[in-house]
């Protein structure tokens, strides 16, 4: 009986520790998502200097994720996509040309979409939106279209391609 109780205690502790670690990682990933939205919002409102500031925050948030707690399959997804996000973030931060920034943001967006779908960490509903003119997608925290690829020229161009429910 003592062996069974001991085994149950070990399993409970291990499960609780894993759940706690995953919870902390999910919090950090949601902070990455919020930082991503800040970049998207800056580009949607044609604020290229703000986009540079915000993409630096995004890159720092990606670096802060404790990815070692992720299961093997999710860890690979995160590492592959984090490398793309950081590379494209550096491109965006290094340019004062909003068209170049928006092109870099496209790469960030596709990496974020893959990360979100692969890790399923979002604590809020996320809308995958698509602009047929730019032939590009992005994530939005709101259902209303806020196009980061054309900004004020075509602020509401696009549609909701997918709704990702919160976890």
Walk along the chain (167 residues) and give the pLDDT tens digit of each residue: 666 644 444 444 444 343 444 567 889 999 999 999 999 999 999 999 999 999 999 999 999 999 998 999 999 999 999 999 999 999 999 999 999 999 999 999 999 999 999 999 999 999 999 999 999 999 999 999 999 999 999 999 999 999 999 98
Query: pTM here?
Result: 0.86
Asked if residues 67 and 75 have their Cβ atoms less than 8 Å apart, the reply is yes
Coil, helix or strand at residue 160: strand
Q: How many CB atoms lie within 10 A of CB 85?
A: 26
User: How does pLDDT run across 71-83, given as a tens digit for each residue?
Assistant: 999 999 999 999 9
Angle at 45 between CA 48 and CA 117, to 5 degrees: 90
Q: How many helices (H) and strands (E) does the chain have?
A: 4, 3
State what percent of residues in the chain have pLDDT above 90.
Answer: 81
Residue 52 exposure: Cα atoms within 13 Å on the Cβ side = 10
As a whole number of angstroms, the distance between CA 101 and CA 105 comes to 6
Q: How many CB atoms lie within 10 A of CB 150?
A: 18
Answer yes or no: CATH 3.30.310 is held by domain 15-121: no
Closest CA to 129 of 105, 118, 152, 113: 113
The residues spanned by each domain of the chain are 15-121
As a whole number of angstroms, the distance between CA 104 and CA 165 comes to 27
Asked if residues 86 and 59 have their Cβ atoms less than 8 Å apart, the reply is yes
Phi then psi for residue 163, to 5 deg, are: -115, 125
Asked if residues 118 and 71 have their Cβ atoms less than 8 Å apart, the reply is no
């Amino acid at each position: 009986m003592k062996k069974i109780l001991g085994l149950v205690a070990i399993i409970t502790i291990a499960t609780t520790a894993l759940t706690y670690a995953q919870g902390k990682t999910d919090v950090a990933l949601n902070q990455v998502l919020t930082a991503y939205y800040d970049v998207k919002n800056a580009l949607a409102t044609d604020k290229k200097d703000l986009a540079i500031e915000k993409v630096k925050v995004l890159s720092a948030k990606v670096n802060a994720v404790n990815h070692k707690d992720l299961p093997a399959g999710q860890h690979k997804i995160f590492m592959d996509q984090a490398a793309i996000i950081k590379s494209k973030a550096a491109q965006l931060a290094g340019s004062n040309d909003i068209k170049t920034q928006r092109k870099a943001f496209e790469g960030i967006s596709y990496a974020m979409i893959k990360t979100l779908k692969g890790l399923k960490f979002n604590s809020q509903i996320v809308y995958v939106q698509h602009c047929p003119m730019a032939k590009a997608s992005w994530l939005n925290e709101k259902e209303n279209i806020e196009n980061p690829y054309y900004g004020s020229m075509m602020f509401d161009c696009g549609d909701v391609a997918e709704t990702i429910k919160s976890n």
